[in-house]
Amino acid sequence: MRCPGERSMHDKPVTSVVIAGGGTAGWMAAATLSRSFAPEALKITLVESAEIGTVGVGEATIPPILPLNAQLGIDEDELVRRTQGTYKLGIEFVDWGARGSRYFHPFGSYGADLGGVAFHHHWLRTREGALDDYSLNARAALSGRFDRPAEDPRSVLSKLSYALHFDATLYAALLRERSLAQGVEAIEGKIAEVVLDPASGHVDHLSLADGRVLRGDLYIDCTGFRGLLIEQALQTGYEDWSHWLPMNRALAVPTAPNGPPVPFTRSTADAAGWRWRIPLQHRVGNGHVYSSAFTDEAAATEALVAGLDGAMLADPRTLSFTTGRRRKAWHKNVVALGLAGGFVEPLESTSIHLIQRGVVTLMSLFPAAGFVQAEIDCYNRLMQTEMEEVRDFVILHYKQTLRDDTPFWRQVQAMPVPDSLAERMAIFAHSGRVLLGPGELFRETSWVAVLLGQGIMPRGHDPLADAIPEKDLRLTLQRMRAVIGRGVEALPTHADFLGRLSVGRHPTT
């Protein structure tokens, strides 16, 4: 029994954090925390081991990475130079909806809304041109052109939206450098044991293989798929999503560049999964994500190598995973980030984003005076919702397909899906409407691109779109296409833009 007024160690303000594991997750957490707290207010220690290494293949991002980098004080030009980065305007999907098909998932928007009605409803009404004709991002990407958005909001070029491709290992090194400059202590060592407090069940300390002991008030688990703290020590459990997302293996291999880097990621569907192509300045990242229930490593490697368009710079690396999430991303005094918290395959480049969301959400609920269960529960609800929304969007790519040429595609086409996704697909198929919550990551453009690209053509459209006379509407759409076309022609090539960065000059828009 506690004496009146006595406070346990877990009622005290959090003044020290131990981050277990480096890589993108660990150093993003360290950089964010050390940017927000002075060293005297919060002691931050990160322990990592060169023996264990990191996955380090996540090279594609989505637009929310840009404001995070800005908040961390990272100059984008420096980042691109230091990480051998390139720019990303979206993702091209090949052979997904059907063999021989292609579509583009652009960042940004399609056309412009008219009369308070989303643009795609006007396109559905007229089918005037191809939908990609109304996407500045898609047309620029497929033309190999790029620039940052124009500052003048009247310019069509102000509508450009982009993300980055970069070498994840070099990005983690940049975050590490900034973290150390901001007072983070880095320790090289292998965690031998996670010791729990017998009374509370919280992590008391970490014992390293060389006998050193690390103590903190809050622990952040960035130990990858192992989940050394959140799972092996605290046993929070794992919710397996492989019945919806049966991918469980990946092969990754770098190749030499074969021509100028394109400003987009390419995803090509294969017999039992899909292959990625991510262009960097110094190399091209390639990989094959597949289900071991439908193919073996030898066949998957053969398919990967056959699809390469440059000389291999290393042997393919093999990764194993189970899609899903920890049942509790925050439990006791441990928060799991990155692969330690769960994994949704990298089809839509969300892995780094989910790390970012975990860090930002932790900052909004950072324990100021011990650990309040209501705040922990709130964090877990928010991260569960975030991951499930990403999960549904990724499942859509498999479920909605006309492919039936292999056992794999026949299975995913026939599989039941979460009710949340089934309802969204049914509504779009009927009326073209996309119903979204205010905080969802993937917005209307993303859903429209994939729903249409994978083969759902709505039976109708929003009746409010009929308020504009058809002749006037067609003329307006023609003008939109022309304006976008002129805007794309005014852009520099992606290679020229990168060339200006490489000599340290800031490109102008």
pLDDT tops 60 at residue 472: yes
198: left (phi over 0), alpha (psi -120 to 50) or beta: alpha
Confidence at residue 503, expressed as pLDDT on a 0 to 100 scale? 54
Reported as a single tens digit per residue, the pLDDT across 225-266 is 999 999 999 999 999 999 999 999 999 999 999 999 999 999
CA angle centred on 284, ends 281 and 287, rounded to 5°: 150
Q: What residues form DSSP beta bridges with 18?
A: 45, 219
Reported as a single tens digit per residue, the pLDDT across 12-65 is 889 999 999 999 999 999 999 999 999 999 999 999 988 755 544 558 999 999
Choice between 11 and 424, residue whose per-residue pLDDT is larger? 424
| pTM of the predicted protein model | 0.94
Integer Cα distance of 322 and 115 in angstroms = 46
The confidence band for 10, taking pLDDT boundaries of 50, 70 and 90, is low
Confidence at residue 13, expressed as pLDDT on a 0 to 100 scale? 87
pLDDT tops 70 at residue 129: yes
Greatest distance between any 2 Cα atoms in the chain? 81
Expressed in angstroms, the distance from the first to the final Cα of the chain is: 67
**Hey, which bits of 129-248 come out as E strands?**
163-165, 185-188, 191-196, 203-208, 213-214, 218-221, 238-240
Integer Cα distance of 408 and 420 in angstroms = 23
pLDDT tops 60 at residue 392: yes
Reported as a single tens digit per residue, the pLDDT across 342-369 is 999 999 999 999 999 999 999 999 998 8
pLDDT tops 80 at residue 509: no
pLDDT tops 70 at residue 7: no
| Mean pLDDT of the 272-276 span | 97
Q: Mapping DSSP to helix (H, G, I), strand (E, B) and coil, where does residue 77 land?
A: helix
Reported as a single tens digit per residue, the pLDDT across 180-217 is 999 999 999 999 999 999 999 999 999 999 999 999 99
Confidence at residue 505, expressed as pLDDT on a 0 to 100 scale? 42
| Mean pLDDT of the 106-119 span | 96
Residue 135 structure tokens: 């996407």
Rg (CA), the chain: 24
Average pLDDT taken over every residue of the chain: 94
Question: Would you say 203 and 52 are in contact if contact means Cβ atoms under 8 Å apart?
Answer: no
Closest CA to 120 of 478, 441, 461: 461
Confidence at residue 6, expressed as pLDDT on a 0 to 100 scale? 40
Choice between 55 and 483, residue whose per-residue pLDDT is larger? 483
Choice between 123 and 437, residue whose per-residue pLDDT is larger? 123
Residue 189 structure tokens: 């060592």
Reported as a single tens digit per residue, the pLDDT across 137-158 is 999 999 999 999 999 999 999 9
Integer Cα distance of 19 and 28 in angstroms = 11
Closest CA to 45 of 213, 224, 196, 233: 213
Closest CA to 90 of 128, 143, 152, 24: 143
Report the 10 Å Cβ neighbour count for 252.
21
Reported as a single tens digit per residue, the pLDDT across 86-110 is 999 999 999 999 999 999 999 999 9
Closest CA to 33 of 238, 205, 179, 186: 179
- List helix spans (H) across 323-469: 351-364, 373-399, 407-414, 419-431, 444-453
Reported as a single tens digit per residue, the pLDDT across 280-309 is 999 999 999 999 999 999 999 999 999 999
